[in-house]
Chain A
């Protein structure tokens, strides 16, 4: 347990000190939301309607960005070798790193989301529910992204390969996340079922992600 706490603390420290960490993800999120009206026009009604979708897509892309570094820096400086040699199960080590990633990338997105929702004229009373869907869904994005990060570090290819591998796998999360958010605003369908499935997907990814990522690291780096 102490070992996992050590990794959590170290990774969070690194995220904050290197590359701006929490700040950078939130900034990217803000920029994406800002660019949307340039592309669509300032039609408030339209923005309000697609607001949840834009926020979710922005969160998805912002989460993807920092995943690149998740294993790459440890691989480059030899830390990954030592992490793999330890008696701490690699699945738990990987999960601790993913948790650190979510706390420093995903959580800031969730915190900033209500403000951005206001900019997109999303219905005010629904902002809370929208933020809740992001809080429940961004862990899934991180833990599924973990798989792509592990696969691409084993092949020493970054960036786009990671996105290509991860995005199709996140389709269910995106579908249910946006559906839940829309349901809270005006939807014919109730919030509950979609949100519950979203939570289920997140919980499943907490298990599947580290297992698949560990397999990718072990088999890919041997």
Chain B
């Protein structure tokens, strides 16, 4: 069975049905290990235990960006090769990526409260993530407002690629803007060097988040395929009634 066979939605569904329970189990296990290591990691001498929000915040940021990367690859599949599962993949990745970005913003804000005194100070990373969330919401708006799913998918694919090109520029601009307005960069969430004792739990949590993303992604793709089947059957029903 070649990789190209996965292109067939029915085969894909069968593969997902077999693989999904294992993925769910793996996700739970790695999360358990990660959370245990995270909670047992040493406290920061400056921030105390609150630094542990980092174990949720940083992986969420990575996965938020990863989500857009998945959408961009899916977009190429849709526009260039017209791969049948490509727009399903892109459509599934969008809300998941948006959710992770949102989690990153919320955890970042909660982390900032004890550190800065307010919930939001427009620091460089959080602001970039906010713009990323706005772009995600734009893509979701395209899916929601399209009358024809095919058109919405293609429009979203184009916006994904435009966003992929723009995101590095936006990140650079926001970083530049931030240093412009805060010449003495006080404290930066995520810091420069991460202590090794914190690095391992961080990577485990990142793995857990990634597994979560993949699990959710496949599950949402399955739902979307089934949803489209229902739609096709309804259309056929209408067509037969007409004839």
Contact = CB atoms under 8 A, between A and B. Distances in A.
A and B physically associate:
yes
Given A156-B147, A219-B154, A220-B155, A168 B162 contact: no
A165 B138 contact: yes
Given A155-B146, A189-B180, A219-B79, A165 B159 contact: yes
Given A154-B151, A168-B138, A169-B166, A212 B173 contact: no
Residue from A147, A156, A219 having most chain B Cβ neighbours under 10 A? A219
A155 B152 contact: yes
A151 B159 contact: yes
Interface stretch (B112-120, B129-137, B201-209, B213-221): B129-137
Contact of A154 (B134, B155, B162, B177): B155
A208 B164 CA distance: 12
Interface string B139-181: 0011001110001101101110111011001101110110010
A155 B162 CA distance: 17
Given A208-B165, A220-B154, A155 B142 contact: yes
A167 interface: yes
Secondary structure at chain A's binding surface: helix, strand, loop or mixed?
helix
B165 A175 contact: no
A171 B165 CA distance: 14
A168 B131 contact: yes
A157 B183 CA distance: 43
A175 B131 CA distance: 13
A183 to B, nearest CB: 9
A151 B142 contact: yes
Contacts of B151: 154-155, 220
Identify the 10 closest CB pairs spanning chains A and B, nearest first.
A172-B173, A219-B154, A168-B134, A175-B173, A175-B177, A165-B138, A151-B155, A157-B145, A168-B135, A216-B158
Interface of B: 79, 131, 134-135, 137-138, 141-142, 145-147, 151-152, 154-155, 157-159, 161-163, 165-166, 169-170, 172-174, 176-177, 180, 183
23 contacts: A147-B159, A147-B162, A154-B151, A154-B155, A155-B145, A155-B146, A155-B152, A161-B145, A164-B137, A164-B138, A164-B141, A165-B138, A168-B170, A169-B163, A171-B173, A172-B166, A172-B170, A179-B180, A212-B161, A216-B155, A216-B158, A219-B154, A219-B157
Interface of A: 147, 151, 154-157, 161, 164-165, 167-169, 171-172, 175-176, 179, 188-189, 201, 208, 212, 215-216, 219-220
Given A156-B147, A179-B176, A215-B158, 13 more contacts: A151-B159, A161-B145, A169-B170, A171-B170, A171-B173, A175-B177, A176-B176, A188-B183, A201-B169, A215-B79, A220-B151, A220-B154, A220-B155
